[in-house]
């Protein structure tokens, strides 16, 4: 157990157990990290969703400003919505960005229909830009008053929310920009359709990101 009372698991253990639909959450100490948490009133500043497809290592579907890690869908590096190998993303966020990491596991078996919805969502949204500070703030404020800001630019929590919606796990009564990373933390008591997310498990012993040959899953 950690000092905060969370169970602890090594990255290798967590990566071996994580499955499609799980969320990974991150919290850092930089000025930008603290600003995001203060602005959104969240205990964490980043969230991504795991996609664990057959014969592939677990992947993290999220949005970020960095463009160091090759996107396994597009086969190149870019900012915005990205699909990364989980080991690469976690290593980058932990070692380069100085973030703590947690995993929350979903308690359902993801169906073939859900997987199809995920792939269609990645196909549509991969490469969408990450909003700059002003559009990010504007989009979040619109979300507070339930005004949809559109999907041209996506913050990390919006990526997870849209994907959950298309999997049938979230109702569409809230626009995607209503969600922030903290909504996926246990204290928020996020209500999913026919599923729940388990408690946070702190992930330790995360290996650093090492550049490897690109591998895409987007067939020609």
Tell me the torsion sign for CA atoms 70, 134, 178, 97.
Answer: positive
In tens, the pLDDT along 112-170 reads: 999 999 999 999 999 988 654 444 444 444 444 444 445 556 889 999 999 999 999 99
Check if the beta carbon of residue 87 is closer than 8 Å to that of residue 11: yes
Q: Which residues contact 192 (CB under 8 A, 6 or more apart)?
A: 106, 164, 169, 170
Enter the DSSP assignment of 65. Answer: S
Question: Could you count the other beta carbons within 10 Å of the beta carbon of residue 93?
Answer: 26
Q: How confident is the model at residue 210 (pLDDT cuts 50, 70, 90)?
A: confident
Please tell me the predicted confidence (pLDDT) of residue 38. Answer: 73
Structural domains in the chain, CATH included, are 7-204 (3.90.1720.10)
Using CA atoms, how far apart are residues 61 and 83, in angstroms rounded to an integer?
A: 5
Check if the beta carbon of residue 33 is closer than 8 Å to that of residue 65: no
Model confidence, pTM: 0.85
In tens, the pLDDT along 59-102 reads: 999 999 889 999 999 999 999 999 999 999 999 999 999 999 99
């Amino acid at each position: 157990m950690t000092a905060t009372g969370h169970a602890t698991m090594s990255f290798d253990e967590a990566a071996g157990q994580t499955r499609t639909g799980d969320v990974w959450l991150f919290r850092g100490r930089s000025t930008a990290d603290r600003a995001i948490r203060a602005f959104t009133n969240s205990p964490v500043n980043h969230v991504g969703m795991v996609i664990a497809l057959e014969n592939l290592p677990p992947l993290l579907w999220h949005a970020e400003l960095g463009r160091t890690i090759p996107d396994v869908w597009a086969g190149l590096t870019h900012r915005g919505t990205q699909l990364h190998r989980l080991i690469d993303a976690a290593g980058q966020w932990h070692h380069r960005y100085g973030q703590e990491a947690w995993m929350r596991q979903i308690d359902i078996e993801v169906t073939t229909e859900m997987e199809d919805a995920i792939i269609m969502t990645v196909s549509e949204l991969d490469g969408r830009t990450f909003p700059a500070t002003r559009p990010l703030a504007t989009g979040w404020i619109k979300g507070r008053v339930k005004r949809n800001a559109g999907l041209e630019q996506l913050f990390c929590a919006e990526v997870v929310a849209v994907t959950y919606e298309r999997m049938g796990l979230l109702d569409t009564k809230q626009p995607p920009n209503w969600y922030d990373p903290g909504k996926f933390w246990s204290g928020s008591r996020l209500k999913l359709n026919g599923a729940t997310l388990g408690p946070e498990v702190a992930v330790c012993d995360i290996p650093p990101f090492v550049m490897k040959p690109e591998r895409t899953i987007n067939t020609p």
